[in-house]
Amino acid sequence: MLTVVAFTLFLKIMQNQSFVTEFVLLGLSQNPNIQKLIFVVFLFGYITTIGGNLLMVVTISCSPALLGSPMYFFLAFLSVVGACFSSAIAPKMIVDSLSERKTISFEGCMTHLFAEHFFAGAELPFCGPNVIDHFMCDLYPLLELACTDTHIFGLLVVANSGFICILIFSLLLVSYGVFLLSLRTRSTEGQQRALSTCGSHIAVVVLFFVPCIFVYAQPPSAFSFDKIVAIFYTILTPLLNPLIYTFRNKEVKNAMRKVWNRIIVANEK
């Protein structure tokens, strides 16, 4: 009964408030010349990201020897996730870099948030300011606009996203440490090959998790350059994933040559 009464009062309060229907994204810069540079750089980066990740998927899918290996199967899955993750952020950012008014609808912002974090469990009322000091809809910038006390939600973000990032990063480092210790029984050639592969994995993990930990494992609004740091895990990591795994992996490069040779032979016929 009390729940019904409380919910009814909440609805009446919400009906008396004017809700925000769209948000304004400030982006990385308000300077037109810098915005043009941002457009060129990130458009090239996005095309390279999609092309590189799709190339990895096609190469592994067309190579039975690689596809049968669990490591390369999950590498292909990582490439798909990287392309999807980048596509959730980069296109809007690229289009906005040439727009005078960078707006996003409330529904689009929630979809943006959902795509980035996969699931958002809190519903907040937005009835006042609608200018987001970021190039995308993220949790902390959005919490600043809510017309209610978001202190608890901010702590939940730290406890949830921040803690999970730290936990996963720590577990990965421990697993890599155990893996490196096990290499002492291998031959020198095997050690060098394993270290090369492991080094690539560690580089990708550090590039993704360190910026995430910096952003989410701190109280809201502690730093003003979070949006610069966010570029690392939203744009750069999906871009560098296929480059790192491709150029440091002989098996993937050999598989790419075979796929390319098949295409040439098929075209000649």
Spatial contact of 129 and 162, defined as CB atoms under 8 Å apart: no
How many whole angstroms separate alpha carbon 144 and alpha carbon 66? 47
Number of helices followed by number of strands (H, E) in the chain: 12, 3
11 pLDDT band (50/70/90 cuts)?
very low
Interior angle at CA 232, CA 229 and CA 233, nearest 5: 105
Domain assignment present for 181? yes
Look at residue 214 in the predicted model and tell me its pLDDT: 80
How many whole angstroms separate alpha carbon 49 and alpha carbon 209? 19
- 22, 20, 24, 21: which is closest to 100 by C-alpha? 24
Domain assignment present for 8? no
How many whole angstroms separate alpha carbon 238 and alpha carbon 53? 8
Per-residue pLDDT, averaged over 212-219, amounts to 77
Name the residue with higher pLDDT: 2 or 222.
Answer: 222
Instruction: Please provide residue 260's backbone torsions phi and psi, each rounded to the nearest 5 degrees.
Output: -65, -40
Predicted TM-score (pTM) above 0.75: no
Q: Domain count for the chain, please give it.
A: 1
Domain assignment present for 116? yes
> Tell me, what CATH number does 147's domain have?
1.20.1070.10
Which tens digits make up the pLDDT trace of 17-69? 455 667 777 777 778 888 888 888 888 888 888 888 888 888 888 887 777 77
Q: What percentage of the chain carries pLDDT values higher than 90?
A: 0
Domain assignment present for 190? yes
Which tens digits make up the pLDDT trace of 130-153? 676 666 666 667 666 666 666 666
One-letter amino acid for residue 165 of the chain? C
Per-residue pLDDT, averaged over 84-111, amounts to 78
The residue segments making up the domain with residue 248 are 21-268
Which tens digits make up the pLDDT trace of 115-132? 655 433 334 445 556 676
Q: Residue 104: beta bridge partners?
A: 23
Domain assignment present for 2? no
- 246, 162, 237, 164: which is closest to 204 by C-alpha? 237
Look at residue 212 in the predicted model and tell me its pLDDT: 79
Look at residue 121 in the predicted model and tell me its pLDDT: 36
Look at residue 241 in the predicted model and tell me its pLDDT: 76
Look at residue 151 in the predicted model and tell me its pLDDT: 63
Domain assignment present for 1? no
Domain assignment present for 148? yes
Domain assignment present for 11? no
Which tens digits make up the pLDDT trace of 185-200? 667 776 676 676 677 7
Look at residue 49 in the predicted model and tell me its pLDDT: 85
Tokens of 227: 């949006």
Look at residue 10 in the predicted model and tell me its pLDDT: 39
